[in-house]
Amino acid sequence: MKYCVIDIGSNSVRLALIKEGKTEYKKVKITRLAQNLGEGRFLSCEAIDRTASAVKEFYDQGKIENPDKIFIFATAAVRLSKNGKEFTEKVYDLCGEKVDVVSGETEAMLGVLGALEGRVQGGLIDIGGASTEIATLNSKEVIGKSYPLGAGTMTEMLKKQTEEEIFSSVFGKELNIKEKNFFAIGGTATTVVAILLGLKEYDSKKVHGFNLTKEQVYKVKKQLENLTEVEISKIEGIQKGREGVIYAGVCILYKVYELLGIDKVVVSESDNLEGYLRYKLEKK
């Protein structure tokens, strides 16, 4: 069986081709759907147009593979916006497919199902453009929560508030989670690894399974601090389009380490794309 899965995130659109349970390839386009989402919670016309176009492009590429099914799902930017329906209707007009707008709890579940790759226990950190998901899985159940703060939204908030003011209002003082074996997915974690490795071209094989320590995250945080977007864009490992939001994402990642009381995570290339397919096929 062959499937295509398209993930419409707050910062990027991604495509995965999964054949017989194995991911053949992934593609990504950074479209900044949540750009300027702000307190008004409206997706801009420009963000809607460029993101829907990217979805259409990936949909057409997926059709060439002659898959058994193409799944399309969307996360925080569409879920939290007041005009998300306008966006999903545009995608339907372009592709003829309905977009599954998942809840925050489901988004957390998708991430942990993908990242753990069949393991029966562990935790997940997923920092997106407009939300952060933290979840745990044991042999009985998935417990997850979505926080309304991502790399994109925090970038906007930092113009008016300090880091600690933002974190205090979103996370509180601590996260009461006992699990210590965590995996991290998403562009923030993978970009931090790419920076540490100085990757001129992104290599998923080098990133997948990387043990990312709290000290290393702090090192990258200090490296990016006070740099302009132009200066950040020149750092090896920075994917074009992430230079404007990566610092905020790293700030969130470091804070989550602190709140969870952990010293390292395993960065995973298997993520909510694989998790969504597993969720849809297994129905449990």
Domain of residue 167, CATH code: 3.30.420.150
Q: Which of 68, 101, 134 is the last residue of a domain?
A: 101
The verdict on residue 276 lying in a domain is: no
215-223: Cβ within 8 A, 24+ apart: 215/263, 216/192, 217/192, 217/250, 217/253, 217/254, 217/257, 218/254, 220/192, 220/195, 220/196, 220/250, 221/247, 221/250, 221/251, 221/254, 223/195
- Are 130 and 248 contained in the same domain? yes
- Residue 128's domain comprises 116-267
- Are 19 and 92 contained in the same domain? yes
Given this model, what pLDDT does residue 146 score?
93
- Stated pTM of the model: 0.92
pLDDT string in tens for the chain (284-residue length): 999 999 999 999 999 999 999 999 999 999 999 988 877 789 999 999 999 999 999 999 999 999 999 999 999 999 999 999 999 999 999 999 999 999 999 999 999 999 999 888 999 999 999 999 999 998 778 899 999 999 999 999 999 999 999 999 999 877 888 899 999 999 999 999 999 999 999 999 999 999 999 999 999 999 999 999 999 999 999 999 999 999 999 999 999 999 999 999 999 999 999 999 999 998 65
Tokens standing for residue 27: 């593609």
- Are 148 and 77 contained in the same domain? no
- Are 89 and 123 contained in the same domain? no
> Can you tell me whether residue 83 is helix, strand or coil?
coil
